Chains A and B, each alone.
Chain A
Amino acid sequence: MRIFTNNAFYLFGINDFIYHIYVKKGDVNVMKDIYPVLAPQLASILQLVQADILGAVTEIRIRTLKPLMLVLGNEDIMLSAAGQVTKSSHEAYLCTEDDLLKTLQLICKNSRYAVEEELRLGFITIKGGHRVGLCGQIALEQSRIKTFKHISGMNIRLAREVKGCSQKVLSYLFENNQIVSTLIISPPRCGKTTLLRDIIRNISKGIECLGVKGLQVGIVDERSEVAACQNGVPTVDLGPRVDVLDACPKASGMLMLIRSMGPEVLATDELGRQEDAIAVQEALHAGVSVIATVHGKDEKEIKERPYIGDLVKNHYFQRYIILDNTPKVGTVRRISSGTGKVLYCL
């Protein structure tokens, strides 16, 4: 596997819009956010894992009575109780129900009431912006998901800040020195949020090489992933001109920010619902540029989707950035204008 053979360093560089991943020995700082939320048994196993492996982890998979698994890019490995990589599921450490329960307790600080909305959506965002996806048996109330009765699986997706990953995209986001509304489109795990975060950081700081001064940016961070807020304060570097509405529904949050904070740019993650589309329209009519992300293949596919499709059909966005994960996560496949003109193609 390339990430193991390459022991240079962990670096997200940009070479023709491909963020190359190299593994740096000991670059495991991100795990400091993860150990405190893992059940003691799981945390002690992970602490025994080699640093170069930990540096390349993108996901930690925990399933009841199944091997403890680490995902490294497009590959996964199983761990033994001694923290060694193993190919045999007999030698692997089998996660127990207790491991999952204790991990959930640690994630929600023994307070399910504090994360009831997140539980309904099926994931909780923890310190550092890492997303913990949950799976198990659902409890319904009047055909609506109420909560999880039992948790049988967890996927901890590590969020890594990649400063500079938007560098070459930035020049496409301006027309006559004015920022244009942009939609970042890709399937899950292709680096949408990472790219959005870096775009925000650059816009907020100002881009000297393009002669653009810093702009006031408002972020509606419904899932606490973009700004990774703790007690409402961002824990990642987003530059000096950012206001964050944390854990706030996108639609009402965008309108709140326009009224209260007067942003020049609004940024939000994962549009989807009808009210999101209405709020984007409101923001654009109010003269505020919007930078958002959405799950999908490309703008043609998005066009067929309800609500968000209308935004594409009516040319509300002036740029579409299409990402995918081949050959690497974060590859910019294409950049198009709102009228369909291709500005960049890999």
Chain B
Amino acid sequence: MWLKLVGSLFIIIAGSLLGFNVAARYAERPRQIRQLITCLASLKAYISYAAIPLPEALIACTGGAKGVISDFFLKTAAILTKCGWLTPQEAMEQALQVPGLVLEKAEVELLAVLGANLGAVDRIEQEKYLNMIHEQLQQLEIEAAQLSARNSKMYRYLGICGSLTIVILLV
């Protein structure tokens, strides 16, 4: 009897944690996209106003903030400083390995487009690209927020209810 109780408790805890974890990813994604938008807006200012070289601009655009997106920019800057012969796109691809990043394929593709053009054109063109990326990220943020509102609760309930169902079926 005790064994069944302990076993059921474990199933419920594990199921709930799984549900909460998936829900947290849905909630985290729009937050990270928002941070990305803020950093890119700052990067645009450093590029078009002061023409600061990319490695320094990528550090400056984080504004000393802490977080996954900030780590992503700092890692890209570190790679570009250490291996300057790499393109910004290659550096960004490597930096995407930063732990905690929950960006989906759409954002990663957008970052690849950004990396391909970053630093390769003049200030005016650079500003145009960054504006375009900004707009598309805003659109993705709205979609991610809608998805988060819809799915976060669902996965939390699914985690608890699913584990309860398993327990009932097994008992």
Indicate if B88 sits at the interface (CB-CB under 8 A).
yes
Over the window 111-149 of chain A, the binary record of Cβ atoms lying under 8 Å from chain B Cβ atoms (1 yes, 0 no) is 111101000000000000000000000000000001100
Complex Cα distance A109/B51, Å? 12
Q: Which residues of A contact B51 (CB under 8 A)?
A: 111, 113-114, 116
Residue from A102, A109, A111, A146 with most neighbouring chain B CB atoms (10 Å): A111
Q: Which residues of A contact B52 (CB under 8 A)?
A: 111, 114
Are the CB atoms of A112 and B122 closer together than 8 Å?
yes
Are the CB atoms of A40 and B85 closer together than 8 Å?
yes
Are the CB atoms of A114 and B53 closer together than 8 Å?
yes
Report the nearest B residue to A147, measured CB to CB: B122
A-B pair number, CB within 8 angstroms:
54
Complex Cα distance A11/B122, Å? 42
Cβ distance B98 to chain A, nearest Cβ, rounded Å: 19
**CB-contact partner of B85 in A106, A111, A112, under 8 A:** A106
Complex Cα distance A36/B48, Å? 26
Complex Cα distance A114/B122, Å? 8
Complex Cα distance A146/B48, Å? 17
Q: Knowing A116-B123, A147-B122 touch, does A111 contact B84 (C-beta < 8 A)?
A: no
Over the window 34-45 of chain A, the binary record of Cβ atoms lying under 8 Å from chain B Cβ atoms (1 yes, 0 no) is 001001100000
Complex Cα distance A40/B87, Å? 14
Indicate if A169 sits at the interface (CB-CB under 8 A).
no
Indicate if B42 sits at the interface (CB-CB under 8 A).
no
Indicate if B47 sits at the interface (CB-CB under 8 A).
yes
Are the CB atoms of A109 and B55 closer together than 8 Å?
yes
Interface residues of B in 37-54 (CB under 8 A from A): 47-48, 51-54
Query: In the complex, which range does the number of interface residues on chain B fall in?
Result: 20 to 34
Indicate if A108 sits at the interface (CB-CB under 8 A).
yes
Report the nearest A residue to B123, measured CB to CB: A113
Are the CB atoms of A113 and B85 closer together than 8 Å?
no
Q: Which residues of A contact B54 (CB under 8 A)?
A: 109-111, 114
Interface residues of B in 45-101 (CB under 8 A from A): 47-48, 51-55, 57, 80, 84-85, 87-88
**CB-contact partner of A110 in B48, B55, B122, under 8 A:** B55
Indicate if B3 sits at the interface (CB-CB under 8 A).
no
Residue from B48, B87, B119 with most neighbouring chain A CB atoms (10 Å): B119
Complex Cα distance A280/B119, Å? 36
Are the CB atoms of A105 and B53 closer together than 8 Å?
no
Interface residues of B in 119-139 (CB under 8 A from A): 119-123, 126
Complex Cα distance A108/B121, Å? 12
Over the window 21-37 of chain B, the binary record of Cβ atoms lying under 8 Å from chain A Cβ atoms (1 yes, 0 no) is 00000000000000000
Are the CB atoms of A112 and B120 closer together than 8 Å?
yes
Are the CB atoms of A39 and B123 closer together than 8 Å?
no
Are the CB atoms of A113 and B122 closer together than 8 Å?
yes
Report the nearest A residue to B48, measured CB to CB: A113
Q: Knowing A40-B85, A102-B85 touch, does A109 contact B123 (C-beta < 8 A)?
A: no
30 contacts between A and B (CB under 8 A): A40-B85, A102-B85, A105-B84, A105-B85, A105-B87, A106-B84, A106-B85, A109-B54, A109-B119, A110-B53, A110-B55, A110-B87, A110-B118, A111-B51, A111-B53, A111-B57, A111-B119, A112-B119, A112-B120, A112-B121, A113-B47, A113-B48, A113-B119, A113-B123, A113-B126, A114-B53, A114-B54, A116-B122, A116-B123, A147-B122
**Which 4 A-B residue pairings sit nearest by Cβ, starting from the closest?**
A109-B53, A102-B85, A110-B119, A111-B53
Can you add 14 more A-B contacts, CB < 8 Å, to A109-B53, A116-B122, A146-B122? Answer: A39-B85, A40-B85, A108-B119, A109-B80, A110-B53, A110-B54, A110-B119, A111-B51, A111-B53, A112-B119, A112-B120, A113-B122, A114-B52, A116-B123
